[in-house]
Amino acid sequence: DKLRLDPPEFTVKNYACQRRTPLKHNNTHLTHALELLAESAAFGENEGRSVAFTRAASVLKTLPRSVQRIEELRGLPCLGEHSLRVIKEILEYGASQEVESTRQSEQYQAMKALTGIFGVGVKTADRWYREGVRRPSDLMDSEQKLNQAQQAGLQHYKDLNTCVSKAEADAIGVIVDQAVQAVLPGAQITLTGGFRRGKESGHDVDFLITHPEEGKEEGLMPKVVNWLDTQGLLLYQKTTRNSYLESKDGPARPPSNMDRFERCFSIFKLESQSCSPPEREKSHQWKAVRVDLVVSPFSQFAFAVLGWTGSKLFERDLRRYAGQVKNMSLNSHSLFDSHQRCFLRATSEEEIFSLLGLEYIPACDRNA
Ligand code: ATP
Ligand code: MN
Ligand code: MN
């Protein structure tokens, strides 16, 4: 029949790292719905289901125009039965019952609010939920034990749930660069994460720090953090030291996506930027901003930039593609060729894509 003779409306590659995903696309009403279901599945600790909805949303983000009819999606990868059913319902009725009832549910709303506290993951939020906690304010006068991160998260809840603008990210960049130059002249900082992908706002600001002379970067993080702290710029920080070298002859670590760089999860105290003096007096004069700092040796810098630019799905698919298609293993430190049994060196992201046999995708098109 006619349907079968028509060529597919769109062609989309299987892995997110094989396709371009710009920031702005034409199907936000559909992707928001699927991403809400992905979020809800993650709250239920069903990662497989969560990734499936995320992948379906990501495929729709690559389409050059807005989908009108479900038939147009014929032949596209990553669109499972459940996702297609949700999409069809939205196309026909303007909304999906499952999405709307999830959005309204007490559990979804509580989990969203509680995981929105810095330092609180799904496991903790779920335990609190079962103990009757619904809102961050319920924690203020409860007996729940909070660790230092969670205390800071609760204290700065409002600020940390207000988007960070690009201007604020740039202002933080100036401060981080000052700190880094003060303790190690010649060190370089690079803005990574969502802002490097061209986002105009984000939930935090991510920086990668390196020095062109290999080895100079060792032990840099505590010095940077100390400088920032002395200036009164930090509301919270947790520094983790590099565990890459020492783990080599140490006990086997559990498999994890976590890399082993020296890193710091922090909350900056950012002085207000553009407020005129009278305005300043009215509102509070600074904003709490989440900042992630990572130090990389120069020889691993290209892998670190690629690994910290995201998006999370783009990274996940890069690693999956490397393993499944190329028999290689990629992380934020290196690329290992399991067939040749050797590490492949690279000094730029372009080189890494080329080693993987992938067309280069610029950061602005990695918004999968
Ligand atoms: P947002 O605007 O919400 O901050 P984002 O894409 O910058 O979006 P982040 O959570 O800041 O999201 O993560 C940025 C990048 O850093 C992602 O690509 C992620 O893969 C990487 N990343 C985050 N945490 C870790 C970690 N613990 N280990 C390795 N990589 C990480
Ligand atoms: Mn980020
Ligand atoms: Mn981050």
- For residue 205, the one-letter residue type is V
Instruction: Give the number of the ligand closest to the Cα of residue 311.
Output: 1
Task: Determine the number of helices (DSSP H) and then strands (DSSP E) in the chain.
Answer: 17, 10
Taking CA atoms only, the protein residue closest to ligand 1 atom 2 is: 202
- Residue 205 Cα, ligand 2 centroid: separation in angstroms? 5
Computed over every residue of the chain, the mean pLDDT equals 93
Can you tell me the distance from the alpha carbon of 191 to that of 334, in angstroms, rounded to the nearest whole number?
20
If one counts every other C-beta atom within 10 angstroms of the C-beta of residue 114, the result is 24
Q: What is the pTM of this model?
A: 0.94
**pLDDT grade for 73, boundaries at 50, 70 and 90:** very high
Question: Out of 1-5, 93-97, 138-142, which region has the weakest mean confidence (pLDDT)?
Answer: 1-5
- DSSP SS3 for 169: helix
Can you tell me the distance from the alpha carbon of 210 to that of 304, in angstroms, rounded to the nearest whole number?
10
pLDDT at position 248 over 90:
no
- Residue 28 Cα, ligand 2 centroid: separation in angstroms? 21
Residue-wise pLDDT tens digits, 93-137:
999 999 999 999 999 999 999 999 999 999 999 999 999 999 999
252-277 per-residue burial string, b: 16 or more CB within 10 A, e: under 16: eeeeeeebbbbbbbbbbbbeeeeeee
Can you tell me the distance from the alpha carbon of 13 to that of 31, in angstroms, rounded to the nearest whole number?
18
What is the chain's length? 368
- For residue 231, the one-letter residue type is Q
Quick one: which atom of ligand 1 is closest to the CA of 201?
2
Tell whether ligand 1 has an atom less than 6 A from the beta carbon of residue 317: no
Question: Out of 56-70, 224-238, 246-260, which region has the weakest mean confidence (pLDDT)?
Answer: 246-260
Instruction: Give the number of the ligand closest to the Cα of residue 240.
Output: 1
Contact 54, 33 (CB under 8 A): no
Can you tell me the distance from the alpha carbon of 52 to that of 56, in angstroms, rounded to the nearest whole number?
6
Element (H, E) at 279: helix 277-282
pLDDT at position 252 over 50:
no
Place of tokens 């990695």: 366
Can you tell me the distance from the alpha carbon of 364 to that of 353, in angstroms, rounded to the nearest whole number?
15
Taking CA atoms only, the protein residue closest to ligand 1 atom 13 is: 193
Which tokens belong to 120?
């609180």
- Residue 293 Cα, ligand 3 centroid: separation in angstroms? 8
Q: What is the pLDDT of residue 247?
A: 46
ipTM (interface predicted TM)? 0.97
- For residue 125, the one-letter residue type is A
Q: What is the pLDDT of residue 257?
A: 58
Burial group, residue 282, by CB count within 10 angstroms (0-12, 13-18, 19+): exposed
281 φ, ψ (degrees, to nearest 5)? -65, -35
Tell whether ligand 1 has an atom less than 6 A from the beta carbon of residue 315: yes
Residues with catalytic roles: 204, 206, 292
Residue-by-residue DSSP string for 224-251: HHHHHHHTT-EEEEEEE---TTTTTTSP
Tell whether ligand 1 has an atom less than 6 A from the beta carbon of residue 308: yes
> Which has more pLDDT, 76 or 254?
76
142 φ, ψ (degrees, to nearest 5)? -105, 175
Taking CA atoms only, the protein residue closest to ligand 1 atom 20 is: 312
Residue-wise pLDDT tens digits, 159-179:
999 999 999 999 999 999 999
- Residue 193 Cα, ligand 2 centroid: separation in angstroms? 4
